[in-house]
Structure 1
Amino acid sequence: MATVPRPLPATGEIFLDARGGNRAMRVSWHQEAELVVLSLWRDNVCAGSFRLAVDEVPRLIDLLRTGLDTAYDVALQRRHA
């Protein structure tokens, strides 16, 4: 019997895994606990979670931004090659 996931808090989002297979990542803010929770889901069952302190979020955002910038630069180089 599959577990129904709890609704996301007011600030949250679901991202589908590129591999499909009913995989997803949920990101939810929990201001009262000063946490961002990243949880991995498959078929409506939570397979794991990670609690990130809000003061660590800027580093994560910087990492994602740097990776996105690099991916964009590589894509531009491939188009002009």
Structure 2
Amino acid sequence: MPSTGTVFPDLRGDARLLRATWHQERQVVVFSVWRDNVCVSTFRLAADEVPDLIALLHDGLDEAYAAARERVERVEHLRRPSQAG
């Protein structure tokens, strides 16, 4: 049995899930794709490649947060009363 794991629902619904499990004894992360409680695909990622995946996710979140901050700042700027007068 895996030592840790979690499940993520697919945004498309239809009972699709991504399950990620850490297998310490093999030093791998297994990603499995499930649909209607049936595993339809698996992918094994070596533990020494996990930092690259984490870096990709981290960089993507940084980019998304920066874009969101810019949108909020633009909206706040438009809502401020004019300083002229």
TM-score interval, normalised by the smaller of the two chains: 0.7 to 0.9
User: What is the TM-score with the length of structure 1 in the denominator?
Assistant: 0.86
Tell me how large the CA RMSD over aligned residues is.
Answer: 1.1
Q: Where does structure 1 lack aligned partners over 5 or more consecutive residues?
A: 1-7
| Larger RCO (alpha carbons 8 Å, 6+ apart) | 1
The SS at the match of 1:33 is: coil
State whether residues 19 and 31 of structure 2, in contact with CA within 8 Å, keep that contact through their aligned partners in structure 1. Answer: yes
**Overall identity of the aligned pairs, in %:** 55
Number of equivalenced pairs: 74
User: Do structure 1's residue 49 and structure 2's residue 38 form an aligned pair?
Assistant: no
Which structure has the bigger radius of gyration? 2
C-alpha deviation, 1:73, in angstroms: 0.5
Off by >4 Å, runs of 4+ in structure 1: none
- Structure 2: give runs of 5+ residues left out of the alignment: 75-85
Closer, same or farther in 2 for the Cα pair 1:60/1:28, shift >3 Å?
same
TM-score, normalised with respect to structure 2:
0.82
